[in-house]
């Protein structure tokens, strides 16, 4: 058994380590570095051996602040310390430096082995988990806040109605000025109420109640709801479906909500731009695996500089938009294991929704 514990056996063992390993004597001078340590610190054994480790490896004139060598020599117990170091990639890396005592036959620690492990990925993961936990807590609080905000908003709306009636007692000029203020407050109150309602919908966007439904039928139903509004602003909604449509296991209400957002966005964009011969053309087709729906309009398109952000929460190009609609659409479609994408130029915009056939989210 004694032959097993030779210098060469230990050396061959450390040579295979992917983490830097070095050994120092009681004078803190290097007696061994493995290839990973030489690569990490950019040094060669011939130049480093015999030098104190803080000089050869870390280019420090004095003992490193994270060094535990002397404590290990004195206490004969392993120690671990963590430190950060600006690495060659320009990032601060987090390292765990473990010191292990090597005692001789008399129990005296003659050498200490140092093993340096890069913990940056684990630290980043922990940081990301902490960040997501914080966001989740903020989301829960925001949902409760959105719910509570609606109560005073309803009271404001009632008070505005009362003030509107009181304006009848004033002379016409004063009443007109008074009513303008009332309308501003009412409009802003309605916008905030809509924002709170949309936020609550977004919170529930991934909680699905699955049932059999036909996406072509749901799109046609939403188009019928918007038909009068579209006619009023002279927009032609065209429907073109391939066959009767597939049967999906999906949340009917949430799909209708996503389709409504896409179609209302198109109608509002066409109306605001006053596009001549405006139309919204919706096509649907499917095969054994996927159902595809396209929503194409001939509006002014989405400016290229804004295209990268249109799915971002609270980002909107509309004067009175909340910036939740498209973010909500994407959440709903992805909750059904589908995808939503778009292309846009000055000739119009096409949104495409793809949903799996026969998949149960």
Which residue reads 């002014």 in tokens? 300
User: Which two structure tokens, joined as six digits, stand for 80?
Assistant: 């671990």
CB atoms within 10 A of CB 14: 21
336-to-161, 242, 251 alpha-carbon distances in Å? 42, 21, 8
User: Which two structure tokens, joined as six digits, stand for 53?
Assistant: 């480790």
Q: Cα separation of 320 and 44, whole Å? A: 66
User: Which two structure tokens, joined as six digits, stand for 208?
Assistant: 């699905």
Average pLDDT over every residue of 75-95:
77
Summarised one tens digit per residue, pLDDT across range 121-176 is 776 776 677 666 765 665 665 666 666 676 777 777 787 788 878 777 777 788 88
Q: Check residue 146 and give its pLDDT.
A: 62
* Position with higher pLDDT, 255 vs 159: 255
Specify the pairing of strand 290-297 against strand 339-345.
unpaired
Domains of the chain as residue ranges with CATH: 2-118 (3.30.450.20), 124-203 (1.10.287), 211-356 (3.30.565.10)
| Closest CA relative to residue 330, chosen from 342, 319, 320 | 342
Summarised one tens digit per residue, pLDDT across range 262-308 is 999 889 888 888 878 889 999 999 888 899 999 999 888 888 878 78
Query: Is residue 328 a contact partner of residue 205, using CB atoms and an 8 Å limit?
Result: yes
* Position with higher pLDDT, 150 vs 16: 16
Summarised one tens digit per residue, pLDDT across range 294-352 is 999 988 888 887 878 788 776 666 555 556 778 888 888 998 999 999 888 888 889 99
What ranges make up the beta strands (E) of 50-145?
A: 79-86, 92-103, 109-118
| Closest CA relative to residue 93, chosen from 108, 83, 80 | 83
Average pLDDT over every residue of 88-112:
81
Helix-helix angle 252-273:325-335, to 10 degrees: 150
pTM for the predicted model, two decimal places? 0.49
Query: Is residue 326 a contact partner of residue 265, using CB atoms and an 8 Å limit?
Result: yes
CB atoms within 10 A of CB 146: 20
């Amino acid at each position: 058994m004694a032959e097993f514990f030779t210098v060469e056996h230990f050396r061959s063992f450390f040579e295979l380590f992917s983490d830097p390993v070095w050994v120092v004597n009681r004078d803190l001078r290097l007696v061994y570095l493995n290839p990973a340590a030489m690569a990490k610190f950019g040094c060669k054994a011939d130049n480093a051996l015999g030098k104190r480790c803080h000089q050869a490896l870390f280019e420090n004139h004095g003992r490193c602040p994270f060094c535990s060598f002397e404590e290990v020599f004195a206490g004969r117990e392993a120690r671990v310390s963590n430190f950060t170091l600006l690495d060659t990639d320009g990032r601060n890396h987090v390292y765990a430096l473990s010191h292990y005592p090597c005692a001789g036959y008399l129990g005296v620690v003659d050498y200490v082995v140092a093993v340096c492990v890069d913990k940056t990925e684990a630290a980043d993961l922990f940081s990301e988990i902490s960040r997501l936990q914080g966001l989740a807590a903020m989301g829960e609080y925001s949902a409760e806040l959105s719910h509570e905000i609606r109560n005073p908003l309803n009271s404001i709306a009632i008070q505005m109605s009362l003030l509107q009636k009181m304006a009848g007692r004033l002379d016409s000029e004063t009443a007109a000025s008074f009513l303008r203020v009332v309308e501003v407050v009412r409009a802003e109150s309605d916008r905030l109420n809509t924002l709170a309602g949309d936020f609550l919908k977004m919170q529930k966007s991934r909680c699905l109640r699955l049932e059999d439904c036909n996406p072509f039928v749901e799109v046609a139903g939403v188009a019928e709801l918007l038909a009068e509004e579209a006619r009023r602003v002279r927009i032609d909604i065209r429907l073109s479906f391939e066959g009767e449509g597939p049967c999906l296991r999906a949340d009917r209400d949430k799909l209708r909500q996503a389709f409504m957002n896409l179609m209302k966005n198109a109608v509002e964009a066409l109306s605001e731009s006053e596009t001549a011969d405006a139309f919204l053309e919706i096509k649907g087709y499917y095969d054994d695996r996927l159902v595809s729906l396209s929503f194409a309009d001939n509006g002014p398109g989405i400016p290229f500089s804004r295209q990268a952000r249109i799915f971002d929460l609270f980002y909107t190009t509309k004067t009175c938009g909340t910036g939740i609609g498209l973010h909500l659409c994407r959440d709903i479609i992805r909750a059904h294991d589908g995808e939503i994408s778009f292309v846009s130029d000055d000739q119009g915009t096409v949104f495409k929704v793809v949903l799996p056939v026969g998949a149960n989210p």
